[in-house]
Structure 1
């Protein structure tokens, strides 16, 4: 279903994106320590009051204030599918969720450059991703429970789901560092490579 937005919602998104782009550009040019809210406001043509209506801090404007959320339709499809490659599907779900706050590849690539220069920003991004661990674990549980044997222990299934959810966030951190070193390479190629590497590594351990 195509998301229908009101004129007000469209304007809100456009303003938020303009603030984010200007904040990222200012950090790239002047450094994170030199960034101020006043600089962002001047570049964006807004008041401080407007800025704080959108973002709580300058760092939030740089990495995006809203924590990523798993798309409801994608979550339902993940639970219902009988695909044989659970690892790859969980990884794809995590990656697409983490990128949902980056509306264009240029902004994504610029943010990756900032993560390289400012590891504290990468840490904050990963902390944001940690918020979806519980939700992701529940989706994995529902998926594996569909095909579980009648004698399967619910507690063991939930432990497996929780372990995989936490592990995938670690894999996402690995992928992010790979994007940084490759200057923001195509995410589809990176996802395919990481999925293959993950499967072959687990087989050899």
Structure 2
């Protein structure tokens, strides 16, 4: 029987510290407003120093809206390009969840509370959403370029009779769309976890393909 690998004590402490920063920051910002909360306020509530704060997050803005999207790491790029994938949709789906979804691995309800608060913060403070969307589009284009590179490395792996960049755009667009659908269902869960988030996204993929029969050629 496989034994689930447990995080190290250092990693557990790191996750708890980051969670404390994000939890208190998002709570204070919703209670007082973004401009009325200082980094010192967040540090006091989280029980950390200002130096520790900047070891974990870039700024008050980033902790308010979260790291909503990121580019693939060198390791992720190498792993993706290393072999031909039997199901490109499944493989890219995992990347989309990692790059665009919640990056917190906590199974507690706190991670869900943080994500819901961030959504509310972006609504109340649209000026912060500019950073959110800039990162989103940068990550989307980075993933599209990675898929094109994959098609070039593995000839014959495309499914559409289209240029590689058009198929890459179609794949990423489809999966981001279903992730957003899954996210809406997830937000309705009182104590949704990261595992619930992924399950909602997979359900959205299934629903999308079930609807395919309703489209005319």
Same fold at TM > 0.5: yes
1:193 matched to which residue of 2?
A: 203
CA 1:11–1:107 in structure 2 vs 1: closer, same or farther (change >3 Å)? closer
Residues in 1 aligned to 2:205 and 2:111: alpha-carbon distance in whole angstroms? 21
Residues in 2 aligned to 1:101 and 1:10: alpha-carbon distance in whole angstroms? 15
188-197 vs 73-82, greater mean Cα deviation: 73-82
Residues in 2 aligned to 1:123 and 1:197: alpha-carbon distance in whole angstroms? 31
For the Cα contact (< 8 Å) 1:113–1:180, is it kept in 2? Answer: yes
Secondary structure at the aligned position of 2:97 is classed as helix
May I ask how many residue pairs the two structures share in their alignment? 198
CA RMSD of aligned residues (A): 4.0
Deviation at 1:40, TM superposition (A): 0.4
Structure 1 gaps, min length 5: none
For the Cα contact (< 8 Å) 2:178–2:201, is it kept in 1? Answer: no
For the Cα contact (< 8 Å) 2:66–2:118, is it kept in 1? Answer: no
Deviation at 1:110, TM superposition (A): 1.2
1:101 matched to which residue of 2?
A: 103
CA 1:203–1:165 in structure 2 vs 1: closer, same or farther (change >3 Å)? same
2:177 matched to which residue of 1?
A: 170
2:156 matched to which residue of 1?
A: 148
Structure 2 gaps, min length 5: none
Output the TM-score relative to the length of structure 2.
0.66
Alignment of 1:14-163 (within 5 A): 15-27=17-29, 29-30=31-32, 32=34, 34-48=36-50, 51-52=53-54, 54-64=56-66, 67-70=69-72, 72-73=75-76, 76-77=79-80, 80-83=84-87, 86-99=88-101, 101-105=103-107, 106-118=109-121, 119=123, 120=126, 124-145=131-152, 146=154, 148=156, 156-163=163-170
CA 1:90–1:73 in structure 2 vs 1: closer, same or farther (change >3 Å)? closer
Residues 32-86 of structure 1, C-alpha deviation per residue, up to 9 Å, x if partnerless?
A: 5643323102113345465456544323123335853435348625753212xx4
Residues in 1 aligned to 2:186 and 2:78: alpha-carbon distance in whole angstroms? 25
Deviation at 1:198, TM superposition (A): 1.9
